[in-house]
Homo-oligomer: A and B are copies of this chain.
Amino acid sequence: MADLTTYRDAVSDGLARELRRDPSVVLLGEDIGAAGGVFKTTVGLFEEFGADRVWDTPISEQAIMGAAMGAAMTGMRPVAEIMFSDFLACCWDYLANEIPKARYMTGGQVSVPMVVRTANGGGLGFGAQHSQSVENWAFTVPGLKIVAPSTPADVVGLMASAIRSDDPVVFFEHKGLFASKGEAAPPEHVVPLGEARVARPGDDVTVVALAATVPLALAAAEQLVEDGISVEVIDLRCLVPLDMATVLGSLERTSRLVVVEENPYQGGWGATVASIVADEGFELLDAPVRRVAGENVPLPFADALEERVIPTTGKLVEAVRRLASY
């Protein structure tokens, strides 16, 4: 079996590979230099690549995003870190109004090949302002590619594609996965953007998952074997491009869909997946479309409360069971 590595180390590995390959790649963010990042996802990069490639910034999220954008427009491939994804709110103008629109509104004169990396998601007791899954914010904005890997190998392979992309990419690293382990990425590993992965094949119910809900879905699928329910787990990997072909293809066999997403139900990306299925896949369906999502409340601090409002294996198992017997 291949070497195991953590998702956390895969982030710095993925960054290091691109920094080595392409001198136009440059990193910036808060505490990412000598400190190695507050999540230890840039450890060793400052040492290997030096202060000219790895830049510490002030606490100025707008200045970070603007600097990355200006540099991307003029020949660099900057990778900006926004420490917690909740803080995207402090520079949302850049993701909502500037970066994704520059090419379009200049009639194609300008490219913005940059990546925004950010630690996303809950489950660690960080409370209402440090635990959100905000990929649904980015999903509202045409012009952004959106990546959210679930395994260490995908972190590396998707990071390569993200950095090499001539389009702006928002790269969500899930805080709850940093300590998780998986096979290390082979050399030159590249995973194209927009290709979902069938994480577990199955025949009865299709479960569409992303990032931290992928291991959750796999655990649920394992449990459901006992019920005699065969679950196909699809890891979307990206929200844009969105691989609906894989989802609809799976439904041709299963006819039953559960989407499991960590962000709140209202305005969640799972709703878009569900609405496409309810339109284009209507004739495939033998049962209602279900969504297991975050509850529509802010995230509470206490573990016992947080557990109540984010998706869990138990909740998904329950939802699949009910749907299978519909």
Contacts and interface: CB of A to CB of B under 8 A. Distances in A.
B274 A278 contact: yes
Contact of A264 (B95, B129, B142, B265): B142
Interface stretch (A150-158, A172-180, A288-296): A288-296
Given A137-B140, A275-B289, A279-B289, A90 B93 contact: yes
Interface string A271-301: 1101101111011010111110001111011
Contact of A266 (B97, B142, B291): B142
A145 to B, nearest CB: 12
Nearest to A96: B89
Q: How many copies does the complex hold?
A: 2
A149 interface: no
A239 B203 CA distance: 37
Most buried by B among A86, A134, A141, A270: A141
A240 interface: yes
Contacts of A269: 267
A171 interface: no
A149 to B, nearest CB: 20
Interface string A104-144: 11000000000000000000000111000010110111110
A77 to B, nearest CB: 22
Contacts of A300: 104-105
Contacts of A142: 264, 266, 295-298
Given A105-B128, A300-B104, A137 B275 contact: no
Size category of the A interface is 35 or more
Contact of A277 (B104, B141, B143, B278): B278
A311 interface: no
A107 to B, nearest CB: 9
A125 to B, nearest CB: 13
A92 interface: yes
Contacts of A272: 265-268, 271
A60 to B, nearest CB: 13
A72 to B, nearest CB: 17
A277 B266 CA distance: 13
Nearest to A297: B142
Nearest to A263: B140
A66 to B, nearest CB: 13
Contacts of A265: 272
B128 A104 contact: yes
B298 A264 contact: no
Contacts of A267: 136, 139-141, 267, 269, 272
Contacts of A283: 288
Contacts of A301: 105
B298 A143 contact: yes
A154 to B, nearest CB: 22
B137 A298 contact: no
15 contacts: A87-B93, A89-B96, A92-B96, A97-B128, A104-B128, A137-B137, A139-B266, A140-B263, A142-B264, A266-B272, A271-B275, A274-B275, A274-B278, A275-B275, A277-B278
